Amino acid sequence: MPRVFFALWPDADAASRLHTIARCWHEVLGGRVMREDSLHATLAFVGDVAPQRLPDLRAVAAGIRLPGMPLAFDRGGCWRHNQIAYLGLRETPDALRCLWSALAAGLRAADFSIETRPFSPHITLLRKANCLAFDAATEKENPATEPVVWSVRDFVLVMSSISANGSRYEQIGAWPLL
């Protein structure tokens, strides 16, 4: 069964800056650097879905009419429980929270079971990171001089498959924001 999730995908410039930060952190935190072309922020993780349900997922996405927004990823962090080093947002803009809640509501209404944890927008940069080293290495902040900003103009549906080199992601749909 396809394993799918909705996400925001950075433009090429933002992905390149994110990857540079990831390689910098890797020097100190170790772990595994996420590939540049796989960097994303998950909006809703749907999980395994029967192929015949994919049109229902697309219909939920197509029903969303909301504005795009600039996002500034400006807060570094490392979660010890899952050893993920990530870049998040100091402030979550209302437009992003609105997109997330509209998507979650649409998915629930269409009978998809989705993640119930509070929304914590982030881009995973490293897996298996040594989070103990993080605070000292980064002074608890994003070590980049400027936030990584991109203008979010759409959201995407991604299919994930596991390979020997980690997860591979393929975009199988994209919907514009206004």
Kindly list the residues in this chain that would bind ligand 2AM in the complex (CB under 6 A).
Answer: 5, 42, 45, 84, 115, 124, 160, 167
Nearer to ligand 2AM, 74 or 115 (CB): 115
CB-based contacts of 136: which residues, under 8 Å, 6+ apart?
none
Spatial separation of the C-alpha atoms in residues 83 and 116, rounded to whole Å: 21
Nearer to ligand 2AM, 36 or 45 (CB): 45
Beta carbon of residue 36, minimum distance to ligand 2AM (angstroms, whole number): 15
Spatial separation of the C-alpha atoms in residues 77 and 84, rounded to whole Å: 8
Beta strand 41-48 with 3-8 is antiparallel
H or E segment to which residue 54 belongs? helix 54-62
Beta carbon of residue 30, minimum distance to ligand 2AM (angstroms, whole number): 17
Torsion of CA 172, 8, 141, 129, to 10 degrees: -20
Beta carbon of residue 76, minimum distance to ligand 2AM (angstroms, whole number): 14
Beta carbon of residue 152, minimum distance to ligand 2AM (angstroms, whole number): 16
Nearer to ligand 2AM, 45 or 153 (CB): 45
Nearer to ligand 2AM, 65 or 155 (CB): 155
Beta carbon of residue 57, minimum distance to ligand 2AM (angstroms, whole number): 15
Taking CA 9 as the corner, what is the angle to CA 7 and CA 14, rounded to the nearest 5 degrees? 145
- Residue 55's identity, in one-letter code, is P
Beta carbons of 9 and 161 less than 8 angstroms apart? no
Nearer to ligand 2AM, 167 or 177 (CB): 167
